[in-house]
Amino acid sequence: DAGITQSPRYKITETGRQVTLMCHQTWSHSYMFWYRQDLGHGLRLIYYSAAADITDKGEVSDGYVVSRSKTENFPLTLESATRSQTSVYFCASSANQFTEAFFGQGTRLTVV
């Protein structure tokens, strides 16, 4: 199916563990993004990417790493999870920097 999918949808992990959130899009969009959304708040940009092998830090990148070896995949890794990283994570993609972004369903991550 065409679209953008995130996995898993829900994840509970322990403090200090490494966890990877997956994002896959089928449109071959060049631009991809990771956001986090804390309860009742807006979107905060973690990382973004203009193309495969090109990534940039957003406003809240500490504690996160990304890779983009293929255009369609943009995994986000929490190197050592902390309780403050409990949030809903959204992946998004867009065809270019001016067009609308399409969002995945979100991953609710709980760090205990």
Query: Measured between alpha carbons, how far is 86 from 64 in angstroms, rounded to an integer?
Result: 13
Member of 43, 52, 60, 95 binding other proteins (CB under 8 A): 43
- The answer to whether 36 and 107 are in contact (CB under 8 A) is no
Member of 6, 21, 106, 111 binding other proteins (CB under 8 A): 106
Member of 50, 52, 65, 95 binding other proteins (CB under 8 A): 50
Q: Is 45 in the site for other proteins (CB under 8 A)?
A: yes
Q: Is 110 in the site for other proteins (CB under 8 A)?
A: no
3-state secondary structure of 85: helix
CA dihedral 67, 92, 50, 47 (to 10 degrees): -50
Q: Is 33 in the site for other proteins (CB under 8 A)?
A: yes
Q: Is 48 in the site for other proteins (CB under 8 A)?
A: yes
